[in-house]
Chains A and B, each alone.
Chain A
Amino acid sequence: MDNVERALSLIKKGAPIAGAAVGSAIGFMTGNAGGAAFGGGLGATLATVIEDTAARVLSRREQIRVGGTAAYAIEFIRERLDAGDVQREDGFFENQEFGASAADEILDGVLLKAKAGHEERKARFYGKFFSNVAFDSSCSRSEANYHLHLLDRLTYS
């Protein structure tokens, strides 16, 4: 199984949480869905980070949580692209000194929080968080990291 197949397999495993968003996300990742397509840094970030996460050893429930969160993130990104929104162009997706972009760092953090969290209803909000940060150039890397930390501390109910 190559890296792309491993990433798609991980997203599919999120079906118990993300439901219909999984099919939509898979279609979007493979280019089989209509509407806008990924391009530039956003597509590279999603591919790189999800493939990297898929290469880790995850338990069954961790795969469901991470896959579901990734599916939600892709689905929310697709909605914004279809609405005509433009991904940020302020260097957020450009590789920094350690070979990873700020976007890579934030998505990696989102998936790690989703993996470790036991409240599976939060997956949708982790996905929404990354999709919003990817389009909001007023949200700096440090602010995104801080809000991700706060989001991790919140309980759903």
Chain B
Amino acid sequence: MPHDSYENKKLNSELLQTLLATFELSQMGLLKLWLTGTEHAEALLDLGDIRPKDLGLSSPGKRLFSLTGLALIAEAEVRSVADIFALAGGNADAALTEVSKLRNK
């Protein structure tokens, strides 16, 4: 996963949707934001806190991953999500949304 962080960044709609889905997974208890080099996780309070590089499965997430056989998902499909997470610079055609404006709403 890329090192991007999205605090105060303008995002296209595809990235925004992916961040929303990621945030929902964390609220379901399946994903955590791990503090680098530790076994501790950081609270994920809004979209701006998401750092793809530090995202990882929680214990329940690992269990669901295993039982459901999600490893069957093709590498190319997983890579496409990583590509979405990577900020690719300005896209004039895409609707841009500023994450900071979504906070506290």
| Complex Cα gap A150–B27 (Å) | 12
B72 touches A129 (CB 8 A): no
Count how many chain B residues have C-beta atoms less than 8 Å from C-beta atoms of the other chain: 12
Interface string of A116-157 (1 = CB under 8 A from B): 000000001100110011001001000010010011010101
Q: Which of B66-82 contact A (CB under 8 A)?
A: 66-70, 72, 77
Please classify the interface of chain B as helix (H, G, I), strand (E, B), loop, or mixed, using the class held by over half of its residues: helix
B68 touches A128 (CB 8 A): yes
Task: Collect the chain B residues with CB atoms within 8 Å of residue A129's CB.
Answer: 67-69
Please classify the interface of chain A as helix (H, G, I), strand (E, B), loop, or mixed, using the class held by over half of its residues: helix
Task: Collect the chain A residues with CB atoms within 8 Å of residue B30's CB.
Answer: 150
B69 touches A147 (CB 8 A): no
Shortest Cβ gap from B69 to chain A (Å): 3
| Complex Cα gap A104–B68 (Å) | 18
Closest to A151 in B: B68
Closest to A144 in B: B67
A125 touches B70 (CB 8 A): yes
| Complex Cα gap A151–B28 (Å) | 11
A133 touches B67 (CB 8 A): yes
| Complex Cα gap A79–B30 (Å) | 28
Q: Pick from B66, B67, B72: contact of A124, CB below 8 A.
A: B72
Q: Pick from A125, A139, A155: contact of B69, CB below 8 A.
A: A125
| Complex Cα gap A47–B77 (Å) | 34
A147 touches B72 (CB 8 A): no
Task: Collect the chain A residues with CB atoms within 8 Å of residue B70's CB.
Answer: 125
A139 touches B67 (CB 8 A): yes
20 A-B contact pairs sorted by A residue (CB < 8 Å): A76-B69, A124-B72, A125-B69, A125-B72, A128-B69, A128-B72, A129-B67, A129-B68, A129-B69, A132-B67, A133-B67, A136-B67, A147-B67, A147-B68, A150-B28, A151-B64, A151-B68, A153-B28, A155-B21, A157-B77
A binding-site residues for B, Cβ under 8 Å: 76, 124-125, 128-129, 132-133, 136, 139, 144, 147, 150-151, 153, 155, 157
Taking A132-B67, A147-B64 as known contacts, 14 extra A-B pairs with beta carbons closer than 8 A to each other, sorted by chain A number, are A124-B69, A124-B72, A125-B68, A125-B69, A125-B72, A128-B69, A129-B67, A132-B68, A136-B67, A147-B67, A151-B64, A151-B68, A153-B28, A155-B21
